[in-house]
Amino acid sequence: MRLFLLTATMLFAFAAHAAPQQDRADDHHADTLVVDKGLMSQFHQVRQTVVDRTSDLVVTAIGFLGVPYRRGGNTAETGFDCSGFVRAMYTQTVGHLLPRRAEEQAAATQKIDRSELKPGDLVFFNTMRRAFSHVGIYVGEGKFIHSPKPGAQVRVEDMSGSYWSRRFSGARRVAAVQDEIKASGD
């Protein structure tokens, strides 16, 4: 039995000594992968948070369909005008306070191309013979939600309809969402 244990121990020791040593470059590569995976994980987590917030924003906005238009209106109880509606949705869901007027909201947000629109972005229209006189929230598939005019209610419209396509002034993205992505990368 002792001879068996001695032989097994010797074979084990020889096998351990003969095993190739791990290259330090492999260690560095493995560490880099772990760090990269950690950064990627953080990026995906923040990205998902942004997607969730954007989804929450659109879902919340949809929940206000039918609320009547009211000039200067800021709440569901009193009614909304276009910029009051957008401001309330961003405050409630993202916690970001936008300026009160549509043209101020355009000035305070990041210009994007129409082809870059994502749900939650702002869309602006010239409805009063001046750019950025009307605002809504893009919900996807060429549609936006807004509080249109006196006598109407919060509703979803198609941007490709002749009225809206002729009056389109531009698209904007709220920088607070982008800042959140950048901050998480630091």
Mean pLDDT by groups of 10 residues along the chain of 186 residues? 41 44 51 55 56 79 97 97 98 94 97 96 96 97 97 98 97 74 48
The whole-number pLDDT of residue 16 equals 44
The whole-number pLDDT of residue 45 equals 59
Q: Which residue has the tokens 């009614």?
A: 79
The whole-number pLDDT of residue 37 equals 61
Which of these is catalytic: 28, 29, 44, 134?
134
The whole-number pLDDT of residue 115 equals 97
The whole-number pLDDT of residue 55 equals 81
Global pTM exceeds 0.75: no
Cα–Cα dist 27/3, whole Å: 39
Residue 178 and residue 112 in contact, taking contact as beta carbons nearer than 8 Å: no
**Which residue, among 132, 115, 52, has the nearest Cα to 123 in the 3D structure?**
132
Please provide the distance, in angstroms rounded to a whole number, between the alpha carbons at the two ends of the chain. 62
Residue 88 and residue 80 in contact, taking contact as beta carbons nearer than 8 Å: yes
The whole-number pLDDT of residue 48 equals 58
Which of these is catalytic: 17, 29, 82, 96?
82
Tokens at residue 179, please?
């800042």
DSSP conformational letter for 130? S
Which of these is catalytic: 28, 44, 96, 146?
146
28 is catalytic: no
134 is catalytic: yes
146 is catalytic: yes
Residue 89 and residue 137 in contact, taking contact as beta carbons nearer than 8 Å: yes
Region at 120 (left for phi over 0; alpha for psi -120 to 50; beta for the rest):
left
The whole-number pLDDT of residue 9 equals 42
How wide is the angle at C-alpha 155 spanned by C-alphas 140 and 73, nearest 5°?
115
How wide is the angle at C-alpha 32 spanned by C-alphas 30 and 35, nearest 5°?
110
**Which residue, among 78, 86, 117, has the nearest Cα to 104 in the 3D structure?**
86
Region at 130 (left for phi over 0; alpha for psi -120 to 50; beta for the rest):
beta
